[in-house]
Copies of this chain bind each other. A is one copy, B any other.
Amino acid sequence: MISTKGRYALRVMIDLAKYSDGSYIPLKEIAEREKISKKYLEIIVKELVSAKLLEGVSGKGGGYKLVRSPDEYSVGEILEVTEGSLAIVACLAKGAEECPRAEGCDTLPMWSELNQMIHDFFFKKKLSELL
């Protein structure tokens, strides 16, 4: 299940896509528009900046803005930054220790199939489709 963190991240990105004219938007504005705790958003936005999905500038006139156009962001990459992994089962997360049962696991093919479906869904869906 996608947590609020991932959902909030997506909403911040959508908000920026909608309301930015190229200048920087302060987080305070976004928090008020989206009615999300600004303090909590700070944590989320920081991760988006680290991942280079956003650019942040301090000081008066500062704030955040997108670094690409909305059709160049996939929903998948936004969620992956904040959720860590979108894998449907632990053994399919990247960096997971290899499952000793993988060989001969009756359920692995099903998990892989679904995992692929979800991955495709999220990475084909662009931010621009959510405006």
- The answer to whether the Cβ of A67 comes within 8 Å of any Cβ in the partner chain is no
Residue on B nearest A130 in the bound complex, by CB: B106
1/0 contact trace for A65-87 toward B, CB 8 Å? 00000000001000000000101
| Residues from chain B with Cβ under 8 Å of A131 in the complex | 106
B118 touches A1 (CB 8 A): no
A107 touches B7 (CB 8 A): yes
B89 touches A110 (CB 8 A): no
| Residues from chain B with Cβ under 8 Å of A125 in the complex | 110
Q: How many copies of this chain does the complex contain? A: 2
A130 CB contact (under 8 Å) in B107, B121, B129: B107
- The answer to whether the Cβ of A11 comes within 8 Å of any Cβ in the partner chain is yes
- The answer to whether the Cβ of A43 comes within 8 Å of any Cβ in the partner chain is no
- The answer to whether the Cβ of A51 comes within 8 Å of any Cβ in the partner chain is no
A14 CB contact (under 8 Å) in B7, B11, B106, B113: B106
- The answer to whether the Cβ of A90 comes within 8 Å of any Cβ in the partner chain is yes
Which 5 A-B pairs give the minimum distances between C-beta atoms? A106-B130, A2-B89, A14-B106, A114-B121, A10-B107
